[in-house]
Chains A and B, each alone.
Chain A
Amino acid sequence: MQQIGPRLDPAPSRWSYRMQRLMLTPLYRNLLRVGLPFVIAFGSVTIYMSDDMRREAVVTGITDLRDQFQSRPEFMVSLMAIDGASTSVAEDIREILQLDFPVSSFDLDLEAILTAIRELPAVADARVRVRSGGILQVDVTERVPAVLWRTAQGLEVLDADGMITGPATSREEYATLPLIAGEGADKHVTEALDLVRAAGPLGARMRGLVRMGERRWDVVLDRDQRILLPEDAPVQALERVIALGQVHEMLERDLAVVDMRLAARPTIRMNAAAVEQWHELQATNAGIAGR
Chain B
Amino acid sequence: MIELYHSQRAMRNMRRAAMQRGVVAILDVGSSKIACLVLRFDGADRGTETEGIGPMAGQAGFRVIGAATTRSRGVRFGEIHAMQETERAIRTAVQAAQKMANIRVDHVIACFSGGDPRSYGLAGAIDLEGHVVTEQDVSRVLSACDVPDYGDGREVLHAQPVNFALDHRSGLGDPRGQMGMRLATDMHMLTVDGIAIQNLAHCVKRCDLELAGVASSSYVSGISALVEDEQELGAACIDMGGGTTGISIFMKKHMIFADSVRMGGDHVTGDISMGLGVPASTAERIKTFYGGVVATGMDDREMIEIGGDTGDWEHDRRTVSRAELIGIMRPRVEEILEEVRARLDAAGFDHLPSQQIVLTGGGSQIPGLDGLASRILGHQVRLGRPLRVHGLPQSVTGPGFASAVGLCLFAAHPQDEWWDFEIPVDRYPARSLKRAVKWFKDNW
Contacts and interface: CB of A to CB of B under 8 A. Distances in A.
Contact of A24 (B70, B89, B104): B104
A2 B104 contact: no
Given A2-B309, A17-B207, A11 B102 contact: no
A1 B309 contact: yes
A2 B281 CA distance: 13
Contact of B88 (A2, A9, A20, A25): A9
A10 B309 contact: no
Given A9-B88, A25-B104, A17 B309 contact: no
Interface string A14-37: 100110110011100000000000
B92 A12 contact: yes
Nearest to B106: A21
Given A1-B309, A24-B103, A24-B104, A11 B98 contact: no
Nearest to A26: B104
Given A11-B88, A12-B95, A24-B102, 15 more contacts: A2-B309, A9-B88, A10-B70, A10-B92, A11-B89, A11-B92, A17-B91, A17-B94, A17-B207, A20-B95, A20-B98, A20-B99, A21-B98, A21-B208, A24-B98
Q: Chain A interface secondary structure, helix, strand, loop or mixed?
A: loop
A14 B102 CA distance: 19
B89 to A, nearest CB: 7
A26 B91 CA distance: 20
Nearest to B93: A11
Contacts of A1: 309
A28 to B, nearest CB: 9
Contact of A17 (B89, B95, B103): B95
27 contacts: A1-B309, A2-B309, A9-B88, A10-B70, A10-B92, A11-B88, A11-B89, A11-B91, A11-B92, A12-B91, A12-B92, A12-B95, A17-B91, A17-B94, A17-B207, A17-B208, A18-B208, A20-B98, A20-B99, A21-B98, A21-B104, A21-B208, A24-B98, A24-B102, A24-B103, A25-B104, A26-B104
A14 B207 CA distance: 8
B284 to A, nearest CB: 15
Interface string B79-103: 0000000001101101100110011
Interface string B256-269: 00000000000000
Interface string B97-120: 011001110000000000000000
Interface string B51-77: 000000000000000000010000000
